[in-house]
Structure 1
Amino acid sequence: MIIPFSCRWIHHIVPLFLLSRVITATDYQLQRWDPIRSSLKPGQSDHFTYNINVTQLGQDYFNTVEVLLFISGTIESMPLRYYNLTDNTQFQNDTALQVTYYFSPSDPSNSTKIGYNNITFENGYIMALGTSPITYNPLFALEEQETTNITGQSLVLEYTTLHLEVSLINPQTGEIIQPSDNDDYYDYEDDDDNLWTYHLGVAEDDQLFQYDERSWIHVLDTDHNSALVTSGNDSTRLTTYLKTNNTLESPYELFLYSLKDSEIIENNLNCSLSAILNGPYMATSISNDSNSTPSTNYKKISLNVHSLQIQKQLVGDDQLSNVQDMLYISGLAPNTTYALYLIRKIGTRMSNNDNSITGVVFSRQLITTKVKSTCSIIFNLDICSSVAYAAPTPLKYYVNKTAMANDYDSLVRSLYENFTTALQLIPCDAELDQRYSPLRTCEDCAQSYLNWLCSIMIPRCSSPGNFGSIFRKKFKSRNSLIDTFIQPTDNYYELMPCIDSCYEMVRDCPAQFGFSCPNIKSSDELFRHSYSYFNSSESSETCNFLGNSSHLIDRKNFLFPK
């Protein structure tokens, strides 16, 4: 969990005031992993309690000195005048939402309270640790240690109740705001316009609400009306989650916002999970939301969807390794910038209409659609399964991306079948000393050839000026088969295949095939019109590579030594 400075909690040492409205602990007793949603206006305060179950602490807390309680919360919404809007509208900064927390003893005759702290929401978020000291009954402690029968009888926890008091304060003075303090701003007949709505939760093993400064989104590509993204490289955590919960339902969900609405969130509540969930989003991948119709995980996403939707599927092998979320956003406007927010649930419940949702919100990721429909995103191809990018749009399939994908796949399949026929003439299953290589197999050769073939027969579109891109006229593609069978609708820029795909094919296949790659020194023109190379100093991708990208080598210094 990474918390940037802007989202860390800040302690304010202020005196406690008499609360003008107290919600009793009977009505609002917090439960483990069950956050509370509440609303306040000046003159009101909430009081919550969380009781530590001493009998369940034995094994987890034996030989420790204190119980840790994780406290976290988010602001869902606040009065409009407190938002810092992007149009330079004046906003109020004389009110803040504060949580005071402390512990009280289980013995009603003991009025001592410990651990007083005050935390104020920043960017819509708080997180803190409450600590209650543990002592031990020596008799039971010795007995349990000798028998390893941890019953909890040895634990002596005097302060068993955590109290949380929530109120609106003046951040300059630390005083609690009263109705008379803001008479000029508040119309109490219209409560909805004056409420601060927040979520608060307590747990003994993790923060219910978290913020991560990474966007955790990898943008694969965009075209004129759609975008394709994946969740971050989190296959180990995701695989563990899927197997532990015996589910194919991913913990990740995506929210699409307009750039203008996302700016309001960024300036005010960018660390708040509940603000993202309850804000004016345009679409979401959550399945029970009426604004979108996501696909079932491990079911192929439909390319022929033109409405505003976010479809989601898991991509990976049958053993649930190397698993990622792939998310396809359709129905976007051309030449428009949008904002994406990815969230990852913590716990077992995930419903956009459920106030007990908990999880991690990642930072904003911006995407921009292309101006024209020259190229279209295709993926989930049968034979070129690694293709997931925008390719030149065929003239006959101007709006049918599924048919377009099938045409590209069919073109590659016909060429690949010829190659596999030739590969059958190689003694792949001979004794090791009779094979063409002791290190490579025919399966390695077939895969490397397929990756190379897909990258050259399915051009990846790029933008003018990008490193590794070359301009192609619509009937002068790199291969005449593309002009004949695909017939691009317009001129386009192609991101050249990585030279690594050619090197891997030459390395993995028998010498009988005569494969070779252009040399930058002896065939400079051929190299530059056929391939590019991985250059880590560039911010965008510099060549098109299909397969395991960890095999890519930064070849700038190899090809162009200083």
Structure 2
Amino acid sequence: MSFSFITATALTIVIFYLIYGGGSVYAQSTTPLQNNQIFFTNVTSGAQQHYYFNTQGSSAAAQNIKRTISYFTANTHPGYDDDNRNRDGSSGNDIDPTFWSTTSGLLTKRAPSLENTIIYLTLTSCSQPIPPPNYNGEIPSIDIYLSTVNTNKLPGPTNHQNNNTVDDTLPGRISWQGGDHLTELWIGVAAPTLTPGWTGEWTYELAVSTTQWMHPFYQQNDTWTLEDTDSNHALFLSADYLSNNNRPNVTALLTQDVPKELKYSYCAAKLHPAPNYSVNVTDTTRGRIDDNHLRQQLMISNLTQGQTYQAYMIKQDNAITGIASPLDIQMKSDPHCRMIYDLDFCDDVAYSVPTDPNQDIWNITRSYDDQVKELFAPFGTALTQFNCNSTQYSLVRNCDDCYRDYKRWLCAVTIPRCTSSTTDTPTSASLSDNQEELLPTVGTRDVTNGSSRNPWIDETYKPSGWTELLPCIDLCYHVVQSCPPFLQFNCPEGDLAAQQYGYWKTQTNQTKGPLLDINHPSCNRLNVNESILVISDANPLLSLSSFLLVSCMGLVLYIFSL
């Protein structure tokens, strides 16, 4: 029997083994997935679709065959030379260390070493069927089923390994991360069976990668926060980034009416864009953690008065698009509330203020800022009378802290934040007396014509009636803590404090009251870190007396008397 016949026979056996035994085998109905690519398709009611992924490549079997043919058709065997010498010139026979060894003259496959490759799998639903007119429930979602063993190449609802931590907690997005030396993954996508009367189908994106999430999701508070809105604008602030690093590529997507079942899907959000809005992204030092960092502010314009939108932060990183949790934003209905930001002196101010809706907004911004600078000047003079360099009045605070905290307090009380009246608090008809007393409240004050606590506002802009979001009482506390005692700065107490200030509160259960968090504040914190704000049980929703801020304004009177 010739050597060529033996070689051909061995080659046939090896190729057969690679394809049907040791290679990548999938049924004709299974679609191979490529690494780092997003696959888009649709699925109808009751249908199942199957996919296969190999960490060594989508055509690993073909690659194995190519290497095998090359092995047998080379002029000389890679392990044995005619002169019985190794490739490095030493005596003996050189064995290919990667795939092959010899035992009793027979070729046997040696398993390659496997790195602990991590597999990142995501599925995002882009659209869903339309229910019949009388349907009031949630629209069912498609499901994903997994198998990591080649004995189950068609996983489905009754045959899967979904105990491998499939995460479907975010509506519209399913994710899974696997490791432990996995090389192959079989995936089943199944659509629920719908009753007659439904129209349409599901569409979705499916992606798998060994290096990254192809549908990244960022935690909301780690990415951006809502500064404020007015009747036509919304202002957002991004997370910090090192100023000497590349500037993050972020923007905003404004949507309306994204189905709640698809809330965390970027491909679904793109199908429901708000009309005609624009986004302007600029750098800012406002709210940064230190001098080495910057933040980005996103000003969204051309929005509609009184409308509600869902805002997504979009971040591009190496051609991969990720999103943060959407924020529901409500545009104000009062045109007298207008957004100002990028002030020179009161650089922490970035919110709506009461003003004339017809004047130029940048002239309004400068006039507010200039008035605070004028009021602050006597305080600066008073502080210079104290020898800050040689006299220690506190173990933890100094004159720099006093300067910062008094400036922040003065900006907050002189530039009031304009807000909408709170209307979503549960009524007493639906709550017991005890429950009503425990409701968290927003520190607001309804301002009638000519009753602004800063008379300059009424004289200059005549804003008519408006609602003020009161300063957080912490701004006053910080001045007392930071400034020298000779300045005699004091904060009000009890009911008077509740009339003059708001209290920082959090509330995520909207069945018990309005949503209160960093994006929906209960008082004006003016960029003070929320972790050091007082969370109080006090109820500041009391009528505001005409002597608002009397005790704190005593400091201003003292300064003017110098």
Question: Aligned partners of 1:85 and 1:388: how far apart in 2?
Answer: 46
AA in 2 matched with 1:551: I
TM-superposition CA deviations, 1:6-54 (whole Å, max 9, x none): xxxxxxxxxx99646x66x6xxx613xx223333567996755444289
How far 1:253 sits from its partner (Å)?
3.8
TM-superposition CA deviations, 1:424-454 (whole Å, max 9, x none): 2221222xxx344454322111111101110
Question: Are the aligned partners of 1:230 and 1:325 in contact in 2 as well (CA < 8 Å)?
Answer: yes
Question: Aligned partners of 1:447 and 1:254: how far apart in 2?
Answer: 32
Question: Aligned partners of 2:533 and 2:282: how far apart in 1?
Answer: 30
Instruction: Tell me the residue number matched to 2:368.
Output: 408
Question: Aligned partners of 1:330 and 1:405: how far apart in 2?
Answer: 17
Instruction: Tell me the residue number matched to 1:139.
Output: none
AA in 2 matched with 1:209: H
Report the 3-state secondary structure (helix = DSSP H, G, I; strand = E; otherwise coil) of the residue aligned with 1:474: coil
Instruction: Tell me the residue number matched to 1:326.
Output: 297
Q: Does 1:467 align with 2:442?
A: yes
How far 1:511 sits from its partner (Å)?
3.0
Instruction: Tell me the residue number matched to 1:30.
Output: 34
Deviates more, 1:34-43 or 1:367-376: 34-43
Instruction: Tell me the residue number matched to 1:341.
Output: 312
How far 1:229 sits from its partner (Å)?
3.3
Report the 3-state secondary structure (helix = DSSP H, G, I; strand = E; otherwise coil) of the residue aligned with 1:504: helix
Question: Are the aligned partners of 1:69 and 1:202 in contact in 2 as well (CA < 8 Å)?
Answer: yes
AA in 2 matched with 1:73: L
AA in 2 matched with 1:316: R
Report the 3-state secondary structure (helix = DSSP H, G, I; strand = E; otherwise coil) of the residue aligned with 1:295: strand
Instruction: Tell me the residue number matched to 1:228.
Output: 235
Q: How does 1:327-406 map to 2 (within 5 A)?
A: 327-345=298-316, 347-349=317-319, 357-359=320-322, 361-393=323-355, 395=356, 398-406=358-366
Residue 293 and residue 166 in structure 1: after superposition, are their counterparts in 2 closer, same or farther (change >3 A)? same
Q: How does 1:54-93 map to 2 (within 5 A)?
A: 67-77=117-127, 82-84=129-131, 88=135
Instruction: Tell me the residue number matched to 1:275.
Output: 268
Larger Rg: 2
Question: Are the aligned partners of 1:30 and 1:48 in contact in 2 as well (CA < 8 Å)?
Answer: no
AA in 2 matched with 1:398: N
Question: Are the aligned partners of 1:71 and 1:203 in contact in 2 as well (CA < 8 Å)?
Answer: yes
Residue 71 and residue 454 in structure 1: after superposition, are their counterparts in 2 closer, same or farther (change >3 A)? same
Question: Aligned partners of 1:164 and 1:44: how far apart in 2?
Answer: 13
Instruction: Return the TM-score normalized by structure 1.
Output: 0.62
Instruction: Tell me the residue number matched to 1:457.
Output: 414
Residue 487 and residue 419 in structure 1: after superposition, are their counterparts in 2 closer, same or farther (change >3 A)? same
Question: Aligned partners of 1:341 and 1:68: how far apart in 2?
Answer: 28
AA in 2 matched with 1:249: P
AA in 1 matched with 2:378: N
Report the 3-state secondary structure (helix = DSSP H, G, I; strand = E; otherwise coil) of the residue aligned with 2:500: coil
Report the 3-state secondary structure (helix = DSSP H, G, I; strand = E; otherwise coil) of the residue aligned with 1:445: helix
AA in 2 matched with 1:219: L
Among candidates 125, 128, 133, match of residue 176 of structure 2: 128
Q: Which sections of structure 1, spanning at least 5 residues, go unmatched?
A: 1-15, 57-61, 104-111, 134-158, 174-181, 187-192, 284-290, 301-312, 350-356
AA in 1 matched with 2:130: Y
Residue 446 and residue 49 in structure 1: after superposition, are their counterparts in 2 closer, same or farther (change >3 A)? same
Question: Are the aligned partners of 2:278 and 2:302 in contact in 1 as well (CA < 8 Å)?
Answer: no
Among candidates 493, 500, 503, match of residue 467 of structure 2: 493
Q: Does 1:534 align with 2:508?
A: no
Of structures 1 and 2, the one scoring higher in RCO (CA 8 A, sep 6+) is: 1
Residue 326 and residue 204 in structure 1: after superposition, are their counterparts in 2 closer, same or farther (change >3 A)? same
Instruction: Tell me the residue number matched to 1:209.
Output: 215
**What CA RMSD, in Å, does the superposition of the two structures yield over aligned residues?**
4.6
Question: How many residues in Structure 1 have an aligned counterpart in Structure 2?
Answer: 423
Q: Does 1:544 align with 2:544?
A: no
Residue 214 and residue 426 in structure 1: after superposition, are their counterparts in 2 closer, same or farther (change >3 A)? closer
Residue 41 and residue 116 in structure 1: after superposition, are their counterparts in 2 closer, same or farther (change >3 A)? closer
TM-superposition CA deviations, 1:34-85 (whole Å, max 9, x none): 22333356799675544428999xxxxx99996442222223345xxx2348
Residue 493 and residue 507 in structure 1: after superposition, are their counterparts in 2 closer, same or farther (change >3 A)? same
Question: Aligned partners of 1:505 and 1:555: how far apart in 2?
Answer: 19
Q: Which sections of structure 2, spanning at least 5 residues, go unmatched?
A: 1-24, 61-96, 99-111, 423-440, 508-512, 541-562
AA in 2 matched with 1:421: T
Report the 3-state secondary structure (helix = DSSP H, G, I; strand = E; otherwise coil) of the residue aligned with 1:381: coil
Question: Are the aligned partners of 2:310 and 2:329 in contact in 1 as well (CA < 8 Å)?
Answer: yes
TM-superposition CA deviations, 1:455-496 (whole Å, max 9, x none): 110011234456322232332221333333x33321222222
Q: How does 1:115-264 map to 2 (within 5 A)?
A: 117-118=155-156, 124-129=172-177, 133=181, 160=183, 162=184, 171=192, 197-210=203-216, 218-231=225-238, 235=240, 246-250=245-249, 252-258=250-256, 261-262=257-258, 264=259
